Amino acid sequence: MPAIDLSRLKTQAARLSEHFGQPEAFLRELHELLDHYTNRTMRPAQIAQRLALPTYRTPRPVLRQIEAELAPLAEARPREATVLLYALWEAGYLETRLLAARLLGMIPPAAAMPAFGRLPDWLKVSTDREVRQALLTDALGRVRRENADIFLTLLEEWLRSPLSGFQVWGLRALVPVLEADFENLPAVFRILRPAIEAAGPSTQVELQACLSALSRVSPTETLYFLGEVLRESPHPMMVRTLRRVLPGLPPDLQAGLREMLRQA
């Protein structure tokens, strides 16, 4: 891998962005750029970890500079950005799929709605942890910040799904909202309830992370919500799952929930 000359990299990324409205030309130039910066020093064991997707093993500063060039174009030309992100995803490399996820997060939320509909399909086929994380955080970052109603509507569909995979995605995507001290907890409790009632071993880890984040925002409201669910829908599997996640919850939530579970 050649040393990164920042001024040259900026020029290369700017030249790449000239093909923003031409997906085929953009991908051709992108592959050449990524190949130029391929990290050829990685050991075989490190490369084996990426067998799920082909990768150029691109240094993070290179992708960051490309993303910096794409951001204003995605804002000004959302329709072309959507076409480009589809092409990036279909290219099938780790780097192109990461760029697709991050480009989706740059598009104004109203214009990005059709692309959000692709997320479940993309998550289903994504075996790479970094790509899944980008789809659940970067791709949803702007709508999460700018239009909470649309964001919660998207998650509601996942959280009420009978498929545990969808529930896992919804729980993972919800945590960043709560970590930002999101204040509309009644809306969160409303969309979260189906996933709580259907809680089982397959969603246990994500449920614990979500409840911990909720407790940091408001332990009192979180405990009241859980008590309400336990009173009205005391499903045995849900009760067992809550007992399993109990040791990993914050102390102020543990005490109250332990008593509720004892009664249940």
pLDDT one-digit tens code per residue, 171-220: 999 999 888 878 789 999 999 999 999 999 999 999 999 999 999 999 99
- What pLDDT is stored for residue 36 in this prediction? 92
Question: What secondary structure does DSSP assign to 162-193, as a single string?
Answer: SSHHHHHHHHHHHHHHHHTT---HHHHHHHHH
How confident is the model over 70-97, as pLDDT tens digits? Answer: 999 999 999 999 999 999 999 999 999 9
pLDDT at 47 over 60: no
- What pLDDT is stored for residue 40 in this prediction? 66
pLDDT at 18 over 80: yes
% pLDDT > 90, the chain? 84
Mean pLDDT throughout 159-170?
95
pLDDT at 49 over 60: no
- What pLDDT is stored for residue 252 in this prediction? 86
- What pLDDT is stored for residue 263 in this prediction? 84
Mean pLDDT throughout 142-166?
93
- What pLDDT is stored for residue 179 in this prediction? 87
- What pLDDT is stored for residue 3 in this prediction? 76
d(CA 218, CA 199): 21
Assign 51 a pLDDT band (cuts: 50, 70, 90): low
- What pLDDT is stored for residue 198 in this prediction? 95
d(CA 156, CA 193): 10
Burial of residue 214 (number of CB atoms within 10 Å: 0-12, 13-18, 19+): buried
- What pLDDT is stored for residue 131 in this prediction? 97
- b/e code 65-77 from CB counts within 10 Å (16+ = b): bbbebbbebbeeb
Mean pLDDT throughout 109-124?
95
pLDDT at 26 over 70: yes
d(CA 70, CA 65): 9
Average pLDDT, the chain: 92
Question: What secondary structure does DSSP assign to 87-145, as a single string?
Answer: HHHHH--HHHHHHHHHHHTTS-HHHHHHHHTTHHHHHHH---HHHHHHHHTTTTHHHHH
- What pLDDT is stored for residue 233 in this prediction? 86
Assign 2 a pLDDT band (cuts: 50, 70, 90): low
d(CA 249, CA 216): 10
pLDDT at 46 over 90: no
pLDDT at 44 over 60: no
